[in-house]
Amino acid sequence: MLTHRIGLVVPSSNVTVETEVPALLSRHAGQFSFHASRMRMHRVTPEELAAMNAQRERCVDELADAGVDAVLYACLVAVMAQGAGEHRRVEKAIREQLPDTGILSSAGALVEALHALGAQRIALVTPYLRPLAEQVVAYLDAEGFAVVDWAALEVGDNAEVGCIPGDRVMAAARGLDLSGADALVISACVQMPSLDLIAPAEAEFGLPVLSAATAGAYALLASLGLDPVLPGAGRLLDGTR
């Protein structure tokens, strides 16, 4: 069986992408291997995010040496904090380095996944400090989505983001006004753990629930021409959209 090589460009302090994305794709009939390159970043601040983005070209070159079939630039806020439409510019720049590779970003994957669900009015849970969370909301507004309510958990240390307990995330989701929402993004961050929350949250809230991780898995499968169906990963990936 053909093995699809997945390249992941991740912040150095991220410990979640390389856990959740492989865990999701292990539920698929296809076969995958995962290859990561890291950009130094510890605190989720505009200055550190900009410095991290400046390391992108080196990371993509390293993944090119591995002959990857698809690349996920896996830091949603690093892209969205740069202004409206930035995921298109980032993906274009990476595609120029790797012209024969499927190129994705977590920011672009979330936009793609929301469109796939037909969602127009959304709610968000983010781990970010409020000014960065506001930039994420503005980015999604610029993409044509109405963010009906959102929460910022105000965690600035990216290592700590990877340790946010699920009950805290669910409590934040319960505090949102979901009455007008088409979908809930329960983790608008690839570092904030979400995988165990998707199914329980869909059952509790009665609407599609996705995260940066499930959106990334959806977009990776689609970019490889594979059926984006994964059991237990929410309505986005259950084949019933």
Q: Which of 103, 172, 173, 189 is catalytic?
A: 189
75 has binding-site annotation: yes
Query: Does 163 qualify as catalytic in the annotation?
Result: no
Residue 53 is assigned to a ligand binding site: no
Residue 175 CA to residue 112 CA, distance in Å, equals 26
Q: Which among 111, 112, 94 is positioned nearest to 103, based on CA atoms?
A: 94
- DSSP tag of 166: H
Angle at 25 between CA 161 and CA 36, to 5 degrees: 55
Q: Please give the order of strands across the beta sheet that includes 3-11.
A: 31-39, 3-11, 70-73, 102-105
> In sequence order, which residues have a C-beta less than 8 Å from that of residue 14 and are 6 or more positions away?
38, 74, 75, 158, 162, 190, 191
Residue 158 labelled as part of a binding site: yes
Query: Known binder of ligand: residue 148?
Result: no
Judge whether 128 is annotated as a binding position.
Answer: yes
- CA 86 remoteness from chain centre: 15
Strands (E), the chain: 3-11, 31-39, 70-73, 102-105, 121-126, 146-152, 183-187, 209-211
CA distance 11 to 241: 32
**Which of these is catalytic: 52, 75, 123, 124?**
75
Is residue 77 marked as binding?
A: yes
Q: Does 161 count as an annotated binding residue? A: no
Binding residues: 14, 75-77, 128, 158, 190-191
Binding residues for substrate: 14, 75-77, 128, 158, 190-191
Q: Which residues are catalytic?
A: 75, 189
